[in-house]
């Protein structure tokens, strides 16, 4: 295929990109009433069981740059979702944890996300969903190798 014949609709990357953007838009709309956002999901997941992590650890977990994480945490702190406490092992750092407010909102947020997953896989059998997940895990593993 020559460059003039490039057809993005015949490549998975096009669909991954559109799916990610669409899921983010739909997720944000559905989570808005709970005061949550899809961009916060890695933080909410990392801290869900009472964990306390540093900003650096959260940035690594979420695979984002430190300034991006700092902005996200500032908004979450403003919205009463996280709290910071001094790190006893590093006086220059804080440990971040979820507030009672965030913990109270998590079950409803999970229900919204479960419904979103059901809606986006409508028409697929459970076997097809299992196959899709297996394939997506392999694609993700390939991307993670490419990132190194």
pLDDT in tens, 56-90: 999 999 989 999 999 999 999 999 999 999 999 88
pLDDT score, position 5: 79
Query: In Å, how far from its chain's centre is CA 107?
Result: 16
> Higher pLDDT residue, 4 or 110?
110
Token output for 92? 């220059």
Report yes or no: 32 and 39 within 8 Å, Cβ to Cβ: no
pLDDT score, position 8: 84
Q: Evaluate if residue 1 carries a pLDDT over 60.
A: no
pLDDT band at 2 (very low <50, low <70, confident <90, very high): low
Report yes or no: 73 and 96 within 8 Å, Cβ to Cβ: yes
CA-to-CA dists, residue 6 to 14, 15, 47, angstroms: 12, 15, 43
Output the pTM of the full model.
0.82
Name 82's bridge partners: 98
Burial class from Cβ neighbours inside 10 Å (0-12, 13-18, 19+) for residue 24 reads middle
pLDDT score, position 114: 94
> Higher pLDDT residue, 9 or 132?
132
d(CA 93, CA 104): 27
Q: Any idea of the CA torsion for 78, 81, 86, 91, to the nearest 10 degrees?
A: -70
């Amino acid at each position: 295929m020559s460059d003039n014949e490039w057809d993005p609709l015949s490549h998975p990357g096009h669909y991954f990109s559109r799916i990610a953007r669409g899921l983010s838009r739909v997720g944000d709309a559905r989570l808005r009433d709970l005061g949550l956002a899809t961009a916060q999901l890695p933080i909410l997941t990392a801290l869900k069981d009472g964990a306390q992590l540093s900003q650096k650890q959260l940035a690594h977990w979420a695979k984002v740059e430190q300034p991006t994480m700092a902005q996200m945490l500032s908004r979450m702190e403003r919205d009463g979702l996280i709290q910071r406490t001094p790190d006893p092992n590093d006086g220059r750092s804080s440990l971040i944890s979820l507030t009672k407010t965030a913990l109270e909102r998590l079950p409803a947020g999970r229900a919204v996300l479960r419904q979103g997953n059901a809606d986006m896989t409508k028409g697929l059998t459970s076997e097809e969903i299992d196959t899709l997940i297996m394939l997506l895990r392999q694609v993700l593993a390939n991307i993670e190798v490419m990132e190194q």
